[in-house]
Amino acid sequence: MPGFFQRLFRKRRTSPQTNLAETSTDQPTQPHSKPLAETAAEQTPAEQTLAEQTAGERSPDQTLLKPPQLIVGIGHSAGKQRDHNEDSLFTLTSTLFSDEIRLPFGLYIVADGMGGHQHGEIASGIAVRAMAGLVINEVFSPLISLPPTDPTESLQEIMRRGIQAAHLAILKQTPGGGTTLTGVLILGDQMTIAHVGDSRAYTIHPDGRIQVLTRDHSLVKRLVELGQITSAEAAVHPQRNVLYRALGQGEPIDAEIVTVPSPKSGYVLLCSDGLWGVVAEQEVFDLVTSAPSPAQACQSLVAAANAAGGPDNITAILIRLPD
């Protein structure tokens, strides 16, 4: 992920002493002390709201939206150096308001098929369909059924089964194929993230914090964690693209699944390494928060990755969460 954090710090710091070796170890949280947040803290809430409405860089998208709803944008590009796109994506956004229930529901999936294997795009497509199909049957259908029913399993169990279904579907339909998969299920105030591989999910908080919710299943990243190689060595390591876990590969497979509260008034970004490996985190933050809508933000994100050379397929799903 050349330049990812380098650019982050280049923007933030004037002194150039920070190098890639020291800064590219991912911390789960990268707090940004945004000047905006600092000044806003001294204002009264009323002043702050006023400031938000008038400040040029606060977009219309960031004013309070009632009732609570999910707003979604996507970006998808083969990049500049590949002739076809092996990434697949899925989005489903819905809202159910009836009686006492006010439930935003969203299911978002990014899968990055593996180019070293034949038919990367087949594997990623199969994975996305299998996962989406299962979760819709097990969660979405009960939600809108009449009378309403509860799923028989927990959301985490259903997401885990979705990952298994995707894995088995690849083994069966395109043996030898492989793909990453990162899926986010938003229901109420919680979101459940399931992932295998190195496609990432981030939360972007309005106060400037960006958090990586996933841990890449990447060999060199693990070697860095163990102190066996430095981040600088990792950046040029011959096996820097090697994943130690991917769907369709190895048996059995287990997804990493976590559930965290949705960031109020914030964003969730799902993306393949064609984006996060190329565009700096700070730039991502700036593009996301300055765009008039998630859809336009995704166009800008893809454009930024392509402007940086577009070495890999680029996929982004950006979800703006309720206040």
Judged by CB under 8 A, does residue 226 bind another protein? yes
Binder of another protein out of 31, 57, 64, 261 (CB under 8 A): 261
Cβ pair 36, 62 in contact under 8 A? no
Judged by CB under 8 A, does residue 167 bind another protein? no
3-class state of residue 198 by DSSP? coil
Residue among 33, 23, 16 at smallest CA distance from 2: 23
Cβ pair 294, 61 in contact under 8 A? yes
Per CB under 8 A, which region of 11-19, 130-138, 171-179, 299-307 contacts another protein? Answer: 171-179
Using CA atoms, how far residue 293 sits from 49, 63, 289, 300, in Å, is: 19, 12, 9, 11
Smaller CB separation from another protein, 249 or 306 = 249
Judged by CB under 8 A, does residue 37 bind another protein? no
Residues 66-125 that bind another protein (CB under 8 A): 100-103, 114-118
3-class state of residue 280 by DSSP? coil
How many Cβ atoms from other residues are within 10 Å of residue 113's Cβ? 32
Judged by CB under 8 A, does residue 182 bind another protein? no
> In angstroms, what is the minimal distance from the CB of 209 to another protein?
16
How far apart CA 224 and CA 272 sit, in angstroms, is 21
Per CB under 8 A, which region of 24-32, 126-134, 220-228, 301-309 contacts another protein? Answer: 220-228
Smaller CB separation from another protein, 49 or 228 = 228
Residue among 272, 264, 266 at smallest CA distance from 288: 266
State whether the Cα torsion 56-60-65-69 is positive or negative.
negative
Binding characters for another protein, 287-306, by CB under 8 A (x = yes): --------------------
Residue holding tokens 């034949």?
Answer: 118
> In angstroms, what is the minimal distance from the CB of 261 to another protein?
5
Judged by CB under 8 A, does residue 323 bind another protein? no
> In angstroms, what is the minimal distance from the CB of 304 to another protein?
21
Judged by CB under 8 A, does residue 197 bind another protein? yes
Judged by CB under 8 A, does residue 161 bind another protein? no
How many residues bind another protein (CB under 8 A)? The answer is 53
Residue among 136, 134, 185, 190 at smallest CA distance from 161: 134
Query: What angle is formed at CA 173 by the lines to CA 128 and CA 117, rounded to 5 degrees?
Result: 80
Binder of another protein out of 259, 290, 293, 296 (CB under 8 A): 259
State whether the Cα torsion 298-302-308-311 is positive or negative.
positive
Binder of another protein out of 21, 65, 260, 303 (CB under 8 A): 260
Burial class (CB in 10 A: 0-12, 13-18, 19+), 64: exposed
Judged by CB under 8 A, does residue 60 bind another protein? no
Residue holding tokens 């050349």?
Answer: 2
Binder of another protein out of 47, 57, 153, 323 (CB under 8 A): 153
Residues contributing to the site for another protein (CB under 8 A) = 100-103, 114-118, 150-151, 153-157, 171, 175-176, 178, 180, 187-190, 192, 197, 219, 222-223, 225-226, 228, 238-239, 241-246, 249-254, 256-261
